[in-house]
Each structure stands twice: as C-alpha cells, then as structure tokens.
Amino acid sequence: TTVQAFAPASITRSSIRNQPISTFRTEESALNMMDPSTLMDAATTMGESANTLMDSSSLLTSFTDQGQNLAGIFFQASLLPYLLFLYFLSFRANQVPALGNFGFQFVLLFVISTIPSGIISKSVYGFSLADTDYLHGGAELLLTVANVLIVLGFKEAMTKQEQVPLGKPRAIAFSLFAAFAAICATGPKLFADGHTPFLFGVGGFPSDQVTRFPWVNHVEPINALSIPTWAIHFSSVFEYVFAMGLVWEFAKTTGNERWKGLTWGMLPLHASGICACTYHFFYNPPALQFLVTSQAGLTLLGNITLMIAAFRIAQSNGWTPQELIPFTDKDTNPYGLVADGLANKPLVLKQEAQSTTDLALTLAAA
C-alpha cells in the first residue's frame, strides 16, 4: 500500500461485469489521464518477450511460477523472525508500552486471517484474495487496527505517566477479528459474487457519474479495489509511517538510542506495503506478479531487521541467554536485578502536542 498509489474512484460494477476488460474505455476528454491498463498491456508484452528468452535457455524457468513459489516461501519464512522479534521486544527492561506491544502482537492475527480468506477466495470464487474485495478489505482492516494500537500505545507512553489500560482496546480489536472470522464463515453464502466491494463500496460513485469527470478516460475492470479497501490500504501506510516516527522519538523517552534502530528495521515492511499497493493500482495483473514476490521478500527482510533491532534493544537493557532458562531465579541473578532496575526506570515524558482523541481523528481521516 502507498500514498502515491491511491487508485481512481471505484464504480458500480453491475453494468460491466460481463464485459471483457479490453473493452473498458470511455470517450476521450479534454484532460486525459494515463490509463493503467495501457501500462499493464506494455508489461504483458515485455513478459511475453521475456518468456521467449526463457524458452531458449535451460537455465531459466517461468518467471511467474517461480515468483509465486518464492512469494509463498518468503511469507512462510518470515514468521519465525517475527516471533523472535516479539520475544525480544517484550523483554521487561525495554519498557515497551503495553498497548504498542499488543499492536505488534495483533499483526499475527492479521497474518492468520489471510490464510482462511485466501483459501476461500481461491476455492469458492476461483481467484486470489487481492481480487476478492470484501475479504481483502476485511483482512487489511485488521492490519490497520494493529497499526493504530502501536501508534496510540507509543504516543501515550511518551506523554502520560499512566499507560492506556489494555481492556477496551483489546476487546475492540478481538471483536473486529471475530467479525472478520464470521464474514469468512458466512461470506460465500451471502455473496455469490467474489468481487462484492468491501463495506458495499460506500463512498464510490456510479459509473455514469465517473465517466463525466474530465480526467477519466477509462473504466476500471471488475477486480479493481473499492473505495473502502483503498482507504484502508492508504490508512495502514500512513499509520505505519506515523508509528515509525513515534518509535524514533521513544529513544529520547527511554534514553536508549537503540530504539532508533527499530525505526530503520521497520522500513523494509513499509516498502513491502508500497509493492502491494502498486500491484493493486494496476489491477493485480499476472505480468506484475514479481511485485508480489518483492512484497514477500521485503516482508521477510523487514521481519529479520525487526528481530535484530529488538535484540539489540533487549541486549542493551540487560538481556542475556539466561533469560531463556525457565527455572532461573531472576530475583537473585545479577543480570535479572539489573533488568528489573531498568524496567522501573522513570521515562522522560514530553509535553502532549495532540490529544489522543485528536490523534485518533487524524488517523481516521487519513
């Protein structure tokens, strides 16, 4: 997902459902906007040329198939480093905000949610999760929730002595996850069309109104993301960048400069989101499947850099391999006593420039 890749407005799809994508064009207007499908056609031509070269060499394989396989391998391999990241981040001496820590943990539920939704998309509708808008938007909403929790958690920890109680935010987050699970269970029966827009496409314009805009010279294909799904993607990118900035500032709050390394560690994951949103902007064409592979590779890289950054933070705060021994008496262990002392160290708070309510509204408006 990316700010620059915000797609054109979605339109009503009923009038074009049975039309071939190649016929989706409107009349020329005074102000012409570049048609993404034109670039998609060019990419397809390049892909065909590449396939010709591949066929002439035994050292090369089908790029699309290889990319898809690599994406799956990268995504699976990224789980372990993320679990290790959560372990090191949660070290008691790090003084990580409880709500922010829960936000990072909630990302796992987003990952889990993509498994059944992806299976449903493929087995019921016959296409990928990226093309199943109501499931795609619902899953992405969970990632947005995780980012909001991270932002609010770190913001509150830097400006207030008392941290935000986990009760209500956790209940809301789990409720949304349960709601998405219910949609996965009932969606195939309720929505015969897998392209049903997320939240019923609220905020979109009818196709006849869209074609009146002077800058529009094409109609989106049936698998284009709806306005709510694009809004969720845009929001998750904005919130993650905001979270990166707060983590950087948290170094001053704790007096530990190694927190800035976590911001750098988050950067590949931001790039991963940009790859995903670029892929969506061009309507998820097979010719740009390499973007999915790039997204998965950057996710793996980002989880590794998160793990390394969290390890450096924990190590600077007294973590030792003895923490892995479950029966170690941390009350008498000198390293454990040092960690306990750092865990109770007062934070250097700063003046609150924006209330939590205003921040929530800012994130929602994004």
Which tens digit of pLDDT belongs to each residue from 172-212?
999 999 999 999 999 999 999 999 999 988 888 777 777 77
Which tokens is 83 given?
């679990």
- Count of C-beta atoms within a 10 Å radius of residue 363: 17
pLDDT tens figures, 40-79: 555 555 445 444 434 433 333 333 333 447 898 999 999 9
pLDDT of residue 25 exceeding 90, the answer is no
The predicted pLDDT at position 56 comes to: 39
Q: pTM of the predicted model, to two decimals?
A: 0.77
Asked if 223 and 284 count as a contact pair (C-beta separation under 8 A), the reply is: yes
Chain CA centroid to CA 322, Å: 35
Sign of CA dihedral 192, 195, 196, 198: positive
Average pLDDT for residues 276-280, to the nearest whole number?
95
Rounded distance between C-alpha atoms, residue 134 and residue 194, angstroms: 8
Alpha-carbon torsion 122, 125, 126, 127, what sign?
Answer: negative
Tokens (6 digits) for 270: 């931001």
Q: Looking at residue 40, what is its pLDDT?
A: 56
**CA dihedral of 86, 92, 96, 97, whole degrees rounded to 10:** 110
Instruction: Report the amino acid identity of residue 102.
Output: F
Q: Where are the beta strands (DSSP E) in the chain?
A: none
Contact 86, 309 (CB under 8 A): no
